[in-house]
Amino acid sequence: KSHRVTRMAVSNNITAILNFIATLSSIPIIASGIWLASKPDNQCIANFRWPIVIIGILVLLVSLCGFIGAYWNKQGLLALYLFTMALLIAVLLIVLVFAFVVTRPDGSYVVPDRGYKEYGLNGASSWLRKRVTGSGSWKKIRPCLAASDVCVKLAQNYISADQFFSSHISPLQSGCCKPPTVCGYNYVSPIMWTNPVNPMADSDCNMWNNDQNQLCYNCNACKAGLLGNLRKEWRKANIILIVAVVVLIWVYVIACSAFKNAQTEDLFTRYKQGWV
């Protein structure tokens, strides 16, 4: 009996340590979610802000549940942990695959003699395009972007035309804070442009307005730039999520094996002693 208790104790200690590691793994998930939620573009899209944070918090709570169950030998909590963590890992994998699929199309194109790229809706993910740039969604997103400091920062950071043209501004700034290059507007400041040479080159050319509350927020280029920004940020967050998921899977497999071995040892010992 003492041998069985020792094996169970060792198994539970291993599981407790692994769950502590899983608890730590939830921190980068939560951090990446908060980082995404803090970005101006994600702040303007309510549905995209908090899912990763919520998943990270759930991973944290479930890992703590597993740690408590292992440390104090609560088999019910351990079983709940194994079941729930499997679901969370599956959800994270689905989110990762989905994020990679919808952010795979780039939508960017190179502009001659410019350090930045410009963006078109046709090259973006159709799923993202429908969810973000639809008339109903954009009516809510547009004023939110206009109220942010995304474009104001350009005027603060760049003065001369050469300095601005060689800059690597974000997709959101490229699409929303200036007119498309093809329109041939003359540079006054990063957010002030005049006298287009080719105003019929693109439908967005006539959308440009030097009013700081207007700029190119009604342009298709702005919508495409927002999608480009989302893609860029989600790709960065995905790297952190991949590492966290790999650690969680590793922890889960070992914890599951330790739990099963302990259960098998317990059953075998009881069988030998004639309890079964």
Residue 276 confidence (pLDDT): 46
What's the confidence (pLDDT) of residue 259?
Answer: 66
d(CA 227, CA 132): 8
| C-alpha–C-alpha distance, residues 253 and 131, integer Å | 37
Task: Give the span between the Cα atoms of 213 and 142, in whole angstroms.
Answer: 10
Nearest to 220 by CA among 178, 175, 251: 175
- pLDDT digits (tens), the chain, 276 positions: 444 445 555 566 777 777 788 888 889 989 988 988 888 777 788 677 788 889 999 999 988 888 887 777 777 777 888 889 899 999 999 988 988 888 887 788 999 999 999 999 887 778 888 888 876 888 889 999 999 889 988 888 888 999 999 999 999 999 999 999 999 999 999 999 999 999 999 999 999 999 999 999 999 999 999 999 988 888 888 888 899 899 889 888 887 776 666 555 454 455 455 544
> Which residue type sits at 72?
W
Q: Which of 254, 261, 276 is nearest to 7 (CA)?
A: 261
For residue 87, CA distances in Å to 72, 82, 251 come to 24, 9, 14
Residue 72 and residue 75: Cα distance in Å, rounded?
A: 9
CB 30 within 8 A of CB 84: no
Give the β-pairing of 192-194 and 117-119. unpaired
- Name the residue ranges covered by the structural domains of the chain: 2-105+233-272, 108-227
Please say whether the beta carbons of 21 and 59 come within 8 A: no
Tokens at 266, concatenated = 């317990």
Q: Whole-angstrom Cα distance, residue 71 to residue 90?
A: 26
Q: In a 3-state reduction of DSSP, which class is residue 43?
A: helix
Query: Which helix (H) or strand (E) segment is 194 a member of?
Result: strand 192-194
CA 153, CA 181: separation in Å to the nearest integer?
20
Tokens in use for 164?
A: 């601005």
Q: Would you state the pLDDT for residue 268?
A: 45
Q: What is the DSSP letter of 182?
A: G
Structure tokens at 159: 């003065």
| pLDDT of 107 | 83
Specify the amino acid at residue 177.
Answer: C
**Taking CA 33 as the corner, what is the angle to CA 28 and CA 39, rounded to the nearest 5 degrees?**
125
- Residue 220: enclosing H or E segment and its boundaries? helix 220-272
Pairing of strands 186-189, 117-119: unpaired
Q: What would you measure as the largest C-alpha separation in the chain, in angstroms? A: 94
